[in-house]
Chain A
Amino acid sequence: MTVHPDVEPGRDFRLSDIWTNERSRSLVIQIVALLVLFLTLAWIVNNTVQNLENLGVETGYGFLEQPASYDINQRLVEYSSRSTHARAALVGFLNTVLVAVTGIIFATLLGFMVGVLRLSNNWLVSRLMTAYVEFTRNVPVLLHILLWYGIVLHVLPHPKEAIEPISGLFLSNRGFYLPRPVFEDFAWVIPASLVATLVGVYLFARHARRVQERTGKIYPVLSMSLAAIIAVPVVAYFAAGSPAHLDWPALKGFNYKGGIALKPEFFALWFALSIYTAAFIAEIVRGGIVAVSHGQTEAAFSLGIKPGWTMRLVVIPQALRVIVPPLISQYLNLTKNSSLAIAVGYMDLTATIGRISLNQTGRALECMSILLTIYLLISLMISAFMNWYNKRIRLVER
């Protein structure tokens, strides 16, 4: 029998071999452990269902179709107290996605900047960045959130005395108010021109790379692309006869109306999560850059490559291999930490379906299962995307 290679050849299989043979023994232990685990889980589920039945508690997801009956202050889609619990969950989901996406973007930008600056030869700059990283990542994120919420609430004035640092921007302890662009007919020209420019930039970059590979001639792709991306939509805007105007926020009664409002709850959560996660990202970036052998830089210099290009073409691509995998964890952490929103009353997924809907309907198991599934899905999606990116930037050995 090939399964038992260490059994003497020619000897018959004995029942005791199952236990005395190391390989089969470990197999048996694993099977038994798995069986016990599954049986226990089945027992728990069965017991829960049984107990709920004994208590006469109804289970099921029918409540999702009932009116939620409560209001939500920040909503990215149409919602009123007559909307369903499912709709409330959607509003919460979008609020979670909003804070996660904007948080990830800001944390990445800040983290990369701090990580690189911490390696700076300038004593003051590198020490300042060290202080930032050490302070931020050694304080629990919940305290960061409460701290920034407290700052907005107690330092900024009441809407009636709102600060207006630049025309149209109002800062108050009820939130930050900005003018909102309102688009009219022909406004589609602007996004259309932007898309066209992006396609053009992509084609130009491809062309430039081919020219460089063939002739060695280098176009200034980055600066030209940036200029085009900014200039073309602006030109298109005026060419279409300025088909947009700004909706200015104005104080009416108790609060500002019109414009875009950034609530203190959103700001505190977004900012605290960003700077907290950025501290970790900064360390990951620093680690990644340091991990690239100094010989690589010296080799590049000896080939006459300029320092900026050395960074971009030699160091960063190799550093990214080290940076991206732990970066995924940080993105996931930020997304999951956003459920701390509850501490400041930001109406995210946890606060809506996981809290208010749960309390008003008493459907604890159902709400928790929905919550669990959605967080899992968000995290798996981020994971899948980042793994794809990680594969793309992997070092290709030639």
Chain B
Amino acid sequence: MRKLILLIAAGALAAVTSVAGAATLDDVRAKGHVQCGINTGLPGFAYKDEAGEWQGFDVDYCRAVAAAVFGDAGALKYTNLTGATRFEALKAGEIDVLSRNTTWTYSRDNDLKLTFVGVNYYDGQGFIVNKALGVESAHDLEGASVCIQTGTTTELNLADFFRANGMNYEPVPIENNEEARQNYLAGRCDVYTTDRSGLAATRASLENPDDHVVLPEIISKEPLGPLVRHGDDEWGDIARWTLNVLILAEEYGIDSGNVNELAEGTNNPEINRMLGTEGEFGAMLGLDQNWVVNVINAVGNYAEIFDRNIGPDTAIGLSRGVNASYLDGGILYAPPFR
């Protein structure tokens, strides 16, 4: 018994002390893989394909980070997290980076001590209902039962929206997207609310997507992006610039088809800097000289990731909208690579 207590104490200590280690890049290199926190299952963003491999918009970001660090997108392990467990897992050092359609907010950044490295999807919260209910606006939802994932910003927006409009509702708390889908289909709730990208994904996974309609109201801003712990700026920069180069690659027309050719040298100095034929930019992050080439080879640029997972030709069918590059009238914009 005494031995057991000591063992447990030692284990707890080990868990506690590992948090204090700041050099995440060294830790990641030492263990040989990036540990990435992803959703427990959200079509288009993080889902298992027929071969049993995790795929999706958020998963591709994880692969990009692994490619940046190791030159191999496969040097990656996943931890599936619910809305309620994700921050603890990140803070406790269980994962190195969280890529789980997470909204960037003031208190998460400053109170929870997390560092958001950018926005990879500008989203907003919406509602999905069955067409048979004849609801056309979120303002018709007086007295409805609403399925809502606990521990999310959407839960707080929902409370605010109904309060501000003087309406009543019954919140039906659920843990993850799959549970929400089941409760919604079973009729436990009339409405399911989450980010509109998530709604589109959920709708696509229903048997008859056309029987369900996403209401026009967008009740919040939900800038989604990957995040890391506070306190390790070097690791944060790797995560931030991995996202940035995906966006920059689209701006400069670099994609998985032409990246190797362009890496032999071009007339465009910015492309040369990114792809490592000019300057020593990889070393500034502690990465290989050709890390960007590895990233693009592994996952392609932002447009490729978007189109492959959630774009108009997929079952999710999201259009780029505000998530288009600033060159195409969107708000996606990355700082220059120099």
> Quick check: is A37 within 8 A (CB to CB) of the other chain?
yes
Q: How far is the CA of A50 from the CA of B143 in the complex (A)?
A: 48
B253 at the interface (CB under 8 A from A): no
- Complex interface: chain B residues within 8 A of A221 (CB): none
B172-193 interface (Cβ within 8 A of A): 172-175, 183, 186-188, 190
Pairwise interchain contact A359-B150, C-beta atoms closer than 8 A: yes
- A360 in contact (CB, < 8 A): yes
Q: Mark A42-81, 1 if CB is under 8 A from B, else 0.
A: 0110011001001111100000000001111100000011
On whether the beta carbons of B173 and A351 are closer than 8 Å, the reply is yes
Instruction: Give the chain A neighbours of B51 by CB distance below 8 A.
Output: none
Collect the chain B residues with CB atoms within 8 Å of residue A174's CB: 145, 170, 187-188
Distance in Å from the Cβ of B131 to the closest Cβ of chain A?
A: 15
Check if A80 sits within 8 Å of B143, measured CB to CB. Answer: no
Within 8 A of B (CB), among A247-264: 252-255, 257, 264
| Cβ–Cβ contact B171 & A40, under 8 A | no
How distant is B269 from chain A, measured CB to nearest CB, in Å?
A: 40
Q: How far is the CB of A217 from chain B (nearest CB, A)?
A: 59
- Alpha-carbon distance between A153 and B185 when the two chains are bound, in angstroms: 10
Q: In this assembly, does A278 line the interface, its C-beta being within 8 Å of a C-beta of chain B? A: no
> Shortest Cβ distance from B115 into chain A, in angstroms?
12
Residue contact B142 to A253, C-beta cutoff 8 Å: yes
Q: How far is the CA of A253 from the CA of B158 in the complex (A)?
A: 19
Residue of A69, A347, A362 touching B87 (CB-CB under 8 A): A362
How many chain B residues touch A (CB < 8 A): the figure is 48
CA–CA, A47 and B9, complex, Å? 12
Whether B23 is near chain A, meaning CB under 8 Å from some CB there, is no
How many angstroms between the C-alpha atoms of A361 and B113 in the bound complex?
11
Q: Identify the closest chain A residue to B143 (Cβ).
A: A253
Q: Which of B5, B113, B169, B188 has the most CB of A within 10 A?
A: B188
Provide the bound-state CA to CA distance between A55 and B5, in Å.
Answer: 27
B163 x A44 contact (CB < 8 A): no
Contact indicator per residue, chain B 1-45, by CB within 8 Å of chain A (1) or not (0):
010011001001100110110000000000000000000000000
Bound Cα distance A69, B157 (Å): 9
Nearest-Cβ distance from residue A398 to partner chain B, whole angstroms: 43
Q: Do A360 and B160 have beta carbons less than 8 Å apart?
A: no
* A51/B174 in contact, CB under 8 A: no
Known A47-B17, A55-B19, A55-B231; contact A173-B186, beta-carbon cutoff 8 A:
yes
For the complex, is A27 an interface residue (Cβ under 8 Å from B)?
Answer: no
Q: How many residues of A contact B (CB 8 A)?
A: 45
Within 8 Å CB of A71, what residues of B? 158-159, 162, 169, 171
Tell me how far the C-beta of A92 lies from the nearest C-beta in chain B, rounded to whole angstroms: 12
Assess whether A355 is in contact with B150, with CB atoms less than 8 Å apart: yes
Residues of B within 8 Å of A51, CB to CB, are 16-17, 19-20
- A153 cross-chain contacts in B, Cβ below 8 A: 183, 186-188
Q: Are A364 and B88 in contact (CB under 8 A)?
A: yes
- Specify the chain B residue showing the minimal Cβ separation from A40: B9
Q: Taking the nearest CB of chain B, how far is it from the CB of A174, in angstroms? A: 6
Given contacts A69-B160, A351-B150, A355-B150, contact A154 B111 (CB under 8 A): no
- Check if B145 sits within 8 Å of A255, measured CB to CB: yes
Q: CB distance B163 to A173 under 8 Å?
A: no
Q: Which of B120-144 contact A (CB under 8 A)?
A: 133, 141-144
Q: Which residues of chain B from 262 to 283 have a CB within 8 Å of any chain A CB?
A: none
Q: Does A381 contact B (CB under 8 A)?
A: no
Cβ contacts under 8 Å, B169 to chain A: 71
- Residue in A closest to B6 when the chains form the complex, CB atoms: A40
User: A173-B187, A359-B150 in contact; A73/B19 too (CB < 8 A)?
Assistant: no
Whether B155 and A356, one on each chain, are in contact in the complex, defined by CB atoms closer than 8 angstroms, is: yes
> B230 at interface (Cβ–Cβ under 8 A)?
yes
Which residue of B has the minimal Cβ distance to A356? B150
Q: Which residues of B contact A326 (CB under 8 A)?
A: none
Q: Quick one: closest A residue to B150, CB to CB?
A: A356
Partner of B190, one of A54, A57, A154, A254: A254
Question: Closest residue of chain A to B169, judged by CB?
Answer: A71
Q: Which residues of chain B have C-beta atoms less than 8 A from A82's C-beta?
A: 163
**Residues on the A chain within 8 Å of B229, using CB:** 55
A109→B214 CA distance, assembly (Å): 49
Asked if B2 and A33 make an inter-chain contact with CB atoms under 8 angstroms apart, the answer reads yes
Complex CA–CA separation, A54 to B156 (angstroms): 30
Residues of B within 8 A of A56 (CB): 113, 230-231
Q: Which residues of chain A are within 8 angstroms of B231 by Cβ–Cβ distance? A: 54-56
- When each residue 209-226 of chain B gets 1 if its CB lies under 8 Å from chain A and 0 otherwise, what string results? 000000000000000000
Are B143 and A70 within 8 A (Cβ)? no
- Decide yes or no whether A345 CB sits under 8 A from chain B: yes
**Minimum-distance CB pairs A-B, first 4:** A359-B151, A81-B159, A362-B112, A345-B173
Q: A40-B5, A43-B9, A345-B175 are in contact. List 9 more A-B contacts (CB 8 A).
A: A54-B20, A55-B231, A56-B230, A71-B162, A72-B171, A80-B163, A174-B145, A254-B133, A345-B173
A-B contact pairs, 16 of them (CB 8 A): A44-B9, A44-B13, A54-B231, A55-B91, A56-B113, A56-B230, A73-B172, A153-B183, A158-B187, A253-B142, A253-B143, A254-B143, A254-B144, A255-B144, A264-B188, A356-B155
